Structure 1
Amino acid sequence: MINLVITDDHKILRQGIIKLLKNLGDYNILAELNDGEELLRNFGTLKEKADLFILDHSLPKKSGIEILTELQSILNEEKFLILTQNDSVNIKSQFYKLGARGFLSKTCTGEELKEAIEQIINTGYFNLQENIKMLRKNDPDFSPIFFLSKKELELIKWICCEEEYTYEQIASKMNISIKTVDYYRNNLFEKFNISSKTGLVLLSHKHKLTPPFL
């Protein structure tokens, strides 16, 4: 079961999303919220159980960007899918820098919504490569480093150690399974179009991500 929190100021839209999801899979709606301030007040409790937050970009009182900005100090791998009617590259770039995992039009179909949710839950992002290409082309300040999660950055740190740890040793250092290490590694390979440990070391060197390159 996937636990969802939906924040949108239009009750009809919220109810429509919930109805769609009930017919599409094993989804549980933890909460449906009316505005950003309500989400901010309840985020500390909701994040303990939520697998994904579905967030409207244009909300009264606080916009989606303002909400994610205020949450920066306490975010820890929580996933946000942004609903928007604005296809601006600048808006998408701002959201990605703040940790958003994907975007959908408010006029999306149920199958598109399901695909976005499943991709984010299973791979971390929705339409990742397509959006990286779009942002590289249109945003001169864009860097795929925006897409690095804290766990992926930690994995790169251990890979870059002079001790040259194996993936099994890194799994022990990170207190996770080797399967989870493989998951983070494969995500990194896909995001940055690389295919080896050496490629990850070169990535860290190029962007000064971890010791000894800081």
Structure 2
Amino acid sequence: MPFQIAIIDDHRLVAAGIADLIRKFENYDVQLMAENGLDLLSQLEQSSQLPDIALVDVNMPEMDGFETTEQLRLRYPAVRVLVLSMEDREDQIIRMIRNGARGYLLKDCRPAELRQAFDDVMSKGFYYSDFLANHLVNNLVAPSTHPVSTPPQSFNLNDREQEFLTLACSELTYNEIADRMFVSPRTVEGYRDSVFQKLNVKTRVGMVLVAIKHRLVKI
């Protein structure tokens, strides 16, 4: 039996095109299409079978991708959320991951990448990039119920770097982080570069993922 996909996108033509593409993938089929999160939840309440993957857009009316992803995590944790969006802002990617997304794709990705994302989400539990494939554990996207632990000695974060890391794992921009820390944006850039080096990452998303994995911040 093929894995079932739910498409949540308010652009009907786009959704229809994605559905046609998915139906060409072996072992995958489209179970339902919804225009937003409220529409999806309504359909799921009336359905006898849950989709295996929910392909969710970020910007939608009534219930956007952020709330949709969170509601799916709370109500239907067996449904794996994969984001497909035009948005490539790091803060939005981070927020979707924090809310429970298992992967994040841009709408200009190649069909082969979408298929690979489906395969990885079903087999590994996640898909994002080579970074995720190499460094994440299966329960990385689940909110931690553990208290914040002291950063392992191997990272050697000082107090200000830890404060920066905590703020960076939110939706704040770097300029807003500078305001919160009462320092200049250039100083925040210094904290960022130092934390990147100590955590062995190259992007803000990578930094957040390592922080979640090692419970350096409370989610």
Smaller-chain TM-score bracket: 0.5 to 0.7
1:29 equivalent in structure 2? 30
- Structure 1 runs (4+) deviating above 6 angstroms are 133-136
Alignment CA distance shift 1:71-1:125 (3 Å): closer
Deviates more, 1:63-72 or 1:5-14: 63-72
* Amino acid across the alignment from 1:15: A
Q: How far off its partner does 1:65 sit?
A: 0.3
State the Cα distance separating 1:70 from its structure 2 match. Answer: 3.5
**What is the SS of the residue equivalent to 2:95?**
helix
Look up the SS of the partner of 1:42 in the other structure: helix
Does the aligned pair in 2 maintain the 1:72–1:98 contact within 8 Å? Answer: yes
Match of 1:16 in 2: 17
> Residue 92 of structure 1 aligns to which amino acid in structure 2?
I
Contact map agreement 1:36 1:63 (CA 8 A) in 2 = yes
TM-score (norm: length of structure 2)? 0.58
8 Å Cα contact 2:22/2:30 also seen in 1: no
Contact 1:3 1:30 in 2 (8 A): yes
**SS of corresponding position for 1:142:** helix
1:108 corresponds in structure 2 to 109
Letter in 1 for 2:36: D
- CA separation of 1:17 and 1:143: change in aligned 2, threshold 3 A: closer
Q: TM-score, normalization: structure 1?
A: 0.59
Q: Is the 8 A contact 2:86 2:107 kept in 1?
A: yes
Larger mean Cα displacement after TM superposition, 51-60 or 71-80? 71-80
Q: Can you give the 5+ residue segments of structure 2 that lack an aligned partner in the other structure?
A: 133-198, 215-219
Unaligned stretches of 5+ in structure 1?
Answer: 149-214
Q: Percent sequence identity over matched residues?
A: 21
1:142 pairs with 2:208: yes
- Deviation for aligned residue 1:47: 8.5
What's the RMSD between the two structures over aligned residues? 2.9
1:53 aligned partner: 54
Change in 2 beyond 3 A, CA 1:140/1:17: closer
Q: CA deviation at 1:98?
A: 1.2
CA contact under 8 A between 1:24 and 1:110: conserved in structure 2?
no
Number of equivalenced pairs: 147
